[in-house]
A and B are shown apart, each in its own frame.
Chain A
Amino acid sequence: MADFDTPELKDFLETPALCPGSMEHSKPFVAAPVHQEALGFPGELVENWQEKAIDRMGELLDTNRALRVYLDSCVKCGACTDKCHYFLGTGDPKNMPVARQDLFRKVYRRNFTTAGKYVPWLVGAEDLTEETLDDWYSYFHQCSQCRRCSVYCPYGIDTAEISMAARDIMDHIGIGQKYSNEIIGKLHKIGNNLGLPEPALANTLEGLEEDIEEETGIAVKLPLDVQGAEILLVTPSADFFAEPHVDGLIGYAKVFHAAGASWTISSYASEAANFAMFIGSQEQMREVAQRIWQAARDLGVKRIILGECGHAWRVAYSFWDTLVGPFDFLDPAYPMPMHICEYTDDLINREKLRLNKAANDEMTLTFHDSCNVARATSMGGRPGGQFEIPRAVIKAVCNNFHDMADDTIHEATFCCGGGGGLLTDDLTELRVKGAKPRMQALNAVVEDHGVTHMAAICAICKSQFSKVMPYYGLEMDAIVSLHQLVSNAIVLEGSIQEEELDGTGEDDEAGESLEAEDEVAAIDG
């Protein structure tokens, strides 16, 4: 399958021995001049790149408190050294968060601190050499910006912020990453990461409507560009075609249908993902987000709901208001933005949905907390809501659920291994190895608790897992969309499913509720 060995899964997650340089060769393709220039970056490495890089670093230090404080504050205590999934999966010491930061910090110290200027050898300060730049390109593209290290650092030092700054500096001297920059360019041009134009999108949605009608016997709509709709759904474009993402989209449509909601997708802003976060460019991130602001205003919607996408939810929840707000034309009665899980959870709590849990009985589920949702956002307006709400929805639509080990979920969750702009085939080895901690935890519940499927609420997680699970001997369709489970269980009025349930008499119903009771016991126990 590949020219590297898939890590072996043991009974517990070991901290690997150091293998210096073992991932030095891992580098994503460099962006071509056209992809660089489309974003206003130089096409190739500029002549005086050292000087330019230091200038840019100075600008960032003056405008980003987090960067400045994080660079000064690290005491090299080592608490973060065993927290990064890329270190755990590869053993390369430069994948230890503090060592990754130090690649940046040594240049900062040399150029911006007294100690680094006069006694560089004492404090590990170094000039930005070609070799260091090489390390930057390699190792700042081995950070998925998942923030796990930030949770465990006594000062909250967030390596993601430093990776973003490093990538921004590299973009400014002409060596960007092809995958992210090409995609951002496509979005600016067409409105989504895939470059899916309006007619193709309309076509896809129609196809999905037919599929749903075939399955349920009723006409569930996936409206596009409906002026005056109440809700604008912004979802990652992978939801329009990739598996298992699309099953999630079908789930949202059914939920909206059941709630009798007036909603629409926008062809102008048909993308929730915002890859500009990965390259640390606020300007690019703003431009991407601006399309959504514009679409919402032009369509005259009252509220915006986000589909299942981790970093998109972070950008929307934490950054939209700062970058493109105010959204004062929306109805202030609703949170801006709202997550589709919050929406569905609310309907479930108000008993607006008819759900047949038995429809998911062939599966035993677990849930993967996506890093951006878990560590950079919340849901439901309460701390920890981002953990409770998705699980509450799953438990409302499935009988069989089992969480993975405590130190691998909630705030301690492990990244899927493909976040932060690394979901590209030129980084397959890194992705497979970086998935190890999650695969380990999943494998444990598969073996001990008969878990068959893992649900996620992130487009990147879903794509990443379908790609890497086979390396670990797991089925690629063992990863499912959360709203795919909702879609399976939801019983729409007048549907074939309703007929099947109600038409077969009382025996079945009695049996079903008994089963449900058993399962509650199983979950609690």
Chain B
Amino acid sequence: MPTVTVIYALLFYVATAILIVGLGFKIRQYWRTPQPLKIPTTPAPMNGSGVVVRMLREVVIFESLFKSNKWIWIFGWVFHAAMAVALLRHLRYFTEPVWGWVVLIQPFGVYAGFAMMLGLAGLLVRRFVVARVRYITSPSDILFLLLLLAIGATGLSMKFVSPTDIIGLKAFMLGLMYFDWQPLPEDANLLIHLGLVISLMIIFPFSKLLHAPGLFFSPSRNQPDDVRMKRHPGAFEAENQARGA
């Protein structure tokens, strides 16, 4: 097996393990940490199904962000929506036969790639031109945008500038999944693209990308405003019950 293939194969396993274990650890930590008090923020729904709807709106259309800043919203939403489409489109490298709906979104994939770059570029520009945002930006915030831009750029260039050996890539990916390694096409563009994706996977659980699981655990968003209808016992419940009649 070529050395490059061995290195990338091992890196993919390590990165996947870090991503899953790291995220699993954080999610478990959020899950286990008690939320002492009821602190939903207005406009809070009064019951659980209302919370599901609120959460869906936050995830799908970034509702709160829409209320607060249209520029960040448009760039941010376009970037995420496009990234979601691009990610789903990548499923074709991991499935054989390719699922029907993945085939259906293929034509949109290319537009999504460009849209994602556009959104990211907008967010990056904001970090330099809006004084308030510049003030709160640390190097890692810029690096994230550059990393994602680079992933997008190398990905698109494989489509438009120097097409890579897709068949070989797919064989490599499926090989990884079924522990039956196949050689990875040694194309510089592809190697950079995959290298960057691997770094993103490794960084994910240690970074602000925790906003993705974080949103679902945010008490101001996931609590219903049902305090007068339901009890919400906390750390003092045992003591309170023992106060005697």
Q: Which residues of A contact B (CB under 8 A)?
A: 15, 17-18, 61-66, 68-70, 72-83, 93, 96, 98-99, 102, 113-115, 121-124, 147, 150-158, 161, 282, 286, 317-319, 321-326, 335-336, 374-376, 378, 381-384, 386, 411
- Sorted nearest first, the 3 A-B pairs with minimum C-beta distance are A73-B214, A156-B220, A152-B68
| A115 proximity list for chain B (CB < 8 A) | 140, 206-207
Q: Are B65 and A378 in contact, CB atoms less than 8 angstroms apart?
A: no
Query: Within the complex, what minimum Cβ distance (angstroms) separates A26 from chain B?
Result: 19
How many A-B contacts at CB < 8 Å in the complex? 202
Q: Does B16 contact A (CB under 8 A)?
A: no
Q: Which interface residue of A102, A114, A376 has the most chain B CB atoms within 10 A?
A: A376
- B133 surroundings in chain A (CB, below 8 A): 76, 78, 81
B141 at interface, CB cutoff 8 A: yes
Interface-lining segment among B4-12, B94-102, B177-185, B224-232: B224-232
Q: Flag if A74 contacts B42 (CB, 8 Å).
A: no
Q: How many residues of B contact A (CB 8 A)?
A: 61
Q: What is the minimal beta-carbon distance from B215 to any residue of chain A, in angstroms?
A: 5
20 additional A-B residue pairs with CB within 8 Å, beyond A152-B69, A323-B236, A381-B228 = A63-B34, A64-B34, A68-B29, A73-B208, A73-B211, A73-B218, A75-B208, A79-B64, A93-B132, A122-B139, A124-B140, A153-B64, A154-B64, A154-B215, A156-B220, A158-B39, A319-B37, A335-B228, A381-B46, A383-B45
Q: Is B60 part of the contact surface with A, judged by Cβ < 8 Å?
A: no
Select one of B26, B138, B218, B232 contacting A70, CB under 8 A: B218
Knowing A78-B133, A324-B240, A375-B41, the reply to whether A63 touches B33 (Cβ < 8 A) is: yes
A152 touches B64 (CB 8 A): yes
Which residues of the partner chain A approach B214 to less than 8 Å between Cβ atoms?
A: 69, 72-73, 155
From residue B20, how far is it (CB to closest CB) to chain A in Å?
A: 16
Chain A contacts for B72, CB-based, 8 A:
77-79
Q: B41 CB to closest chain A CB, in angstroms?
A: 5
Does B233 make an interface contact (CB < 8 A)? yes
- Kindly provide the distance from the CB of A273 to the nearest chain B CB, expressed in whole angstroms: 18
The answer on a CB contact under 8 Å between B44 and A383 is yes
Q: How far is the CA of A115 from the CA of B126 in the complex (A)?
A: 25
B: which residues have CB within 8 A of A? 26, 29-30, 33-39, 41-46, 58, 62, 64-65, 67-69, 72, 76, 126, 130-133, 135-141, 143, 206-208, 210-211, 214-215, 217-221, 225, 227-229, 231-236, 240
Q: Are B64 and A151 in contact (CB under 8 A)?
A: yes
Pair A336/B69 contact, Cβ less than 8 Å: no
A288 smallest CB distance to B (angstroms)? 13
Task: Report whether A74 and B231 are in contact in the complex, using a CB–CB cutoff of 8 Å.
Answer: no
Known: A73-B215, A382-B46. A150 touches B41 (CB 8 A): yes
Note all chain B residues with C-beta closer than 8 A to A102.
Answer: 136
- Docked-complex contact A161 and B39, CB < 8 angstroms: yes
A122–B206 Cα distance when bound, in Å, is: 12
Q: How far is the CA of A323 from the CA of B229 in the complex (A)?
A: 16
**The residue from A15, A66, A325 contacting B233, defined by CB atoms under 8 A apart:** A325
Say yes or no: A83-B68 contact (C-beta < 8 A), given A158-B41, A323-B236. Answer: yes
Q: List 19 A-B contacts (CB under 8 A).
A: A65-B219, A66-B39, A72-B211, A72-B214, A73-B211, A78-B136, A93-B132, A123-B138, A151-B41, A154-B58, A154-B62, A155-B215, A286-B236, A318-B39, A323-B236, A374-B42, A381-B229, A383-B43, A383-B225
